[in-house]
Structure 1
Amino acid sequence: MKKVAILGSTGSIGTQALDVIRANRDRFKVTSLTCGKNIEELSKQIEEFSPRLVVTADETDALILAKRYPKLEVMYGESGLIAAAEDDSEILLNSLMGMRGLVPTYRGIRSGKDIALANKETLVAGGELVMDAVHKSGVKLLPVDSEHSAIFQCLQGNQGKRIKRILLTASGGPFRGYNRKQLEEVTLEQALKHPKWTMGRKITIDSATMMNKGLEVIEARWLFDVPLTDIQVLVHPESIVHSAVEFEDTSVIAQMGLPDMRIPISVALGYPERIPYEGRSLDFFQEGANLTFEEPDTDVFGCIKLAYAASEAGGSYPVVMNAANEVLVDKFLKGKISFVDIEKNIEKILELHTPSYNLGLNDIIEIDQIIRKEVMG
């Protein structure tokens, strides 16, 4: 019985993780659950999974739950997230959105827990710091993103073999094939219609700008310790090949399957075992019959180039890029800027930035907050 804490249990990844746990109650025990403001969904999860600790974003919601469940420990805010990260679980699933995920991940690692990571910002902003903590603590950092899980699976049994290339697949998002002029006219409603995946609003917009793929390139650099030049993005609209690895003998090993986040979640939670799943298998004569791959158009989707450049420059650049992107996506979601303004403003902010290096946790948090205030105006 593996004890699991889930940060962000009412979001897309969190609810699907609970689907996996629900189907494998003999394998997992939920110890802590956290949410933003969806306390009604959290209440249903409390009654089904009986955690020891729950955490909300706001004190008001925490007081409501404390009154509703008097025997349950209820906390709120960052201190609550840290408490959940440091509870008595064996594995911490972090599916928080944004920079809120960095500190709990770091504290969970330092407390000796394996991490199932579905929070991109942890490695984008704090890759060097986090991976150093992973190595010192001797814990496992298990990727939950479908692409990084695919790479992780391809590497099993190949530890120590030299990687020639990581082939990171991308669906292309809703605007695959668009030119720059067409992008200037897209609406919020169009940007939120992803052709393959059902995700939260922020990550869906990141997929539309293809910044999501840029962030994943940076993650892959840290997770698999490969140079940026050895990571190639492939646009694969069918989303059947979730990513692949080419080794020095030019053999390519790919991980394939239907688009279903429960699979990478179960890989991370169950590792090193595979967990049986009753979902539909890939039909190679239907979904697998015609698989296509394209080179991404980085002149149209410039966020990919910005991510490569920020990661190559290192230091505070990825922190700045990530912070600016989060604020600008939120502005777009609120109708304050256009779709192409996201990329344009990130590029300007990076050009004006004076970098700093050898960042500690507090440095990363301070830079992130400064950039957010500047971009918010």
Structure 2
Amino acid sequence: MTQQPLDQLTTVQKKTRTYLVVAFFILTAVFLVGIFWLASTPGQTVGLTLAFAAGLSMIVLPCTFPLVFVIVPLAMGKSPKKGLLMAVLFGLGLIITLSIYGVVVAWAGQIFGLASVSKWMFLVAGVAALLFGLSELGLIHLKLPYYKGATPQFVQKQGDYLKAFFMGLFLGNAGIACPNPATYVILTYIASSGSIAYGAALQAVNGLGRFLPLLAVTILAIAGVNASMWFMRKKEAIQKATAWMLIVVGAFVVVWGIYGHFWFLNTPLHSGWTRWFGTTISSSVAEYECCINPPCGQCLDGWIWGPGVCECRIHLEQGHLDQVCPECRVGLAEGKGVFDIAKRTEKPALALLGGLILGPAVWYIAKRRFSKKEDDEDGSKETTEIKHE
């Protein structure tokens, strides 16, 4: 579709393009905030926010990035209204498929009772992410799943709107096997909880997160900016950034699988985040867990103070130990307090985390230097041979 110069557009076309650009910037802001949240809160309890942020991060993975080249051609060449509606129908199909996965995983969790193996599943998720990151950096070689562009003939024969919807349904499968550690964490949580409704909700929100970056790229395409070409030009840089992101997040998930997440409570990142969040937003939502692990009866029964904060945790952090419930006082005396656990696990967890991140970094630098040295030697040999000739 040939794009008209701006001075040849009608008033309606100019307004439409303006609205599209504004919508793009809003979606971009949502994307950046979500990615920042995911990167700065590696120990976050699984919830809708994590599911959404994890969905946003899928746009940079090679197993799902090719969806850009599906949705953009669908919308380009159509009127802005029709193009956007087709994109939305594509996203709706994708969200429905992912929601079905959430229902199936939760149902399997009810039957097989996967809560006892959740830590092992976190460990597997983290290792998968690390291996994927190493593969993307060229340090190891793995054959990874990705979308190859084939769709059933039944889908291809539908009208524009049904075709977009069915392609979303079909391509919702893309990325399910992709080693995004946050996705594995979400699926693990769904399986261990066994809640079909919450499983469907988490995966639906995850699907929404996956769709919004695709919608942003589609909006740019309709407005006359083919962002997919920019992605292709920056493919190598995006690939490396994705690899390092997966290594860092994968390292956190591995440590989480081995030591749990309480070790993170004593780190400056967590304390600084909590202090800022509590000061600028609300202290009652800065923390959410009980002061002991396993949590006390009032937490398990759902009797909590404020939006998601254990009353005992509030009293403990304020130094009012006499106001902590009897069960928590006993747990604290027995060393089951979350901050006691944090002190015991902080050093080994940080040591492992550092090794899992610095190890690949040293390996990558060493391999680059070795490759450069080999290239220089090959160049010298070629120069010498030319001189002899």
Tell me if both proteins adopt one fold, taking TM over 0.5 as the criterion.
Answer: no
Calculate the TM-score normalised by the size of structure 1.
0.24
TM-score (norm 2): 0.24
Structure with the greater alpha carbon radius of gyration: 2
Which structure has greater strand proportion? 1
Structure whose residues are more often helix by fraction: 2
Higher RCO by CA contacts (8 Å cutoff, separation 6 or greater): 2
